[in-house]
Amino acid sequence: MPFRARCGGAVAPASSARRRAARGSSRAVTARASADDEIYRVMSANQEVSVVAVVGTKVVADAVSRHKTAPTATAALGRTMLSALLLGVFKGDDETVQITFKGDGPIGTIMAISDNRGMVKGMCANPSADPPLRPDGKLNVGAAVGKGILSVSRAHPDWKQPFTGMVNIVTGEIAEDVATYMLESEQVTSAIAVGVSLDRALEIRSAGGYMVQVLPFASEETVSALEKSIAALPSTTDMIADGWDARTIAAKVLGDLGVIEDTASRSTPSYGPCDLDDLRTRMMRALASMGRAEVESIIKEQGVVEMTCEFCKDTIVFTEQELLSAKDEI
């Protein structure tokens, strides 16, 4: 089926703004779109198509504020987080989805983890990655990601091990690669669109997307109607900037197919979970795993040690007494 994934929606910032971002500006990035963050899932009236739409402007802005990403890294990280939300929300209780791009581009590894409630968190190895713009003036996410492997892991506490599928990164533009994964690894025909738009002040203008899943028994008429409605849509970031909520996006995607409101599910996306108590426990475990000699060296040289979560960027300071406790556990 000739569905094509769509990415983008990023407004190229002024060159001076790009230079500030590349240096890792500490100014928090704020959301400016009018639509509230929401995830909305609904079936078409003929029950042949499922659509999940997400408005994630605030949750992407939260990630950008934590990681201090340059413009292109912002788009790459935001698109990956939005894709994780689309794949992970409304699954089984306690199920999580992890999307990992391991490319040879300057951004390095990008990772996003989401759960069935709409919680999502992400990171990228090089938040300052910001290659030159594409010839059309848009942010060059593909160049930032490069070629490599996309892996998607689904996990649950009751499973013996996660289910993991891998595909080659085709374009690096995120949505196209996730759609390729869905088709090749999960045998699901889908159309995916995700976008993150920045204004010239480096504030998040809008962020969101949608995923269409066509059920195996869908008719040719249904497929044709979907192709027509999707082709007529503006970019996801323009929809959200114009005030479209997640329900409106889903309805516009389905077009003349209509929706069954009784099948709708809603959730509010948020960044996390990064519980400080849990972080402290895991970090203490990591300290204990260093070995007695290394812990004793830290106590002697520093007295305290700071550890930062790679996802939430929260820093926890361990006192000498806590370091001694970690040493005693070795």
CATH number, domain with residue 325 = 3.90.1280.10
From 240, 255, 271, the end of a domain falls on: 271
Structure tokens at 324: 């001694």
Q: Global pTM?
A: 0.84
Measured at the CA of 217, the angle between CA 213 and CA 219, to 5 degrees, comes to 90
- Tell me the residue ranges of DSSP E strands in 73-203: 96-103, 109-115, 119-124, 148-155, 163-168, 190-198
The 10s digit of each residue's pLDDT in 219-274 is 999 999 999 999 999 999 999 999 999 999 999 999 999 999 998 999 999 998 77
The 10s digit of each residue's pLDDT in 43-100 is 999 999 999 999 999 999 999 999 999 999 999 999 999 999 999 998 888 899 999 9
From 233, 256, 271, the end of a domain falls on: 271
Contact indicator for 304, 320 with CB cutoff of 8 Å: yes
Domain that holds residue 39: 6-271
Establish if 1 belongs to a structural domain. Answer: no
Establish if 58 belongs to a structural domain. Answer: yes
Query: Do 128 and 75 share a structural domain?
Result: yes
Q: Which residues contact residue 275 at a Cβ distance below 8 angstroms, ignoring those fewer than 6 apart? A: none
Worst-scoring range by mean pLDDT, 98-102, 186-190, 297-301?
297-301
Query: Do 182 and 159 share a structural domain?
Result: yes
The 10s digit of each residue's pLDDT in 307-318 is 788 898 888 887
- Check residue 326 and give its pLDDT: 59
What is the count of structural domains for the chain? 2
From 256, 271, 286, the end of a domain falls on: 271
The 10s digit of each residue's pLDDT in 91-129 is 888 899 999 999 999 999 999 999 999 999 999 999 999
Query: Do 29 and 139 share a structural domain?
Result: yes
CATH number, domain with residue 149 = 3.55.30.10
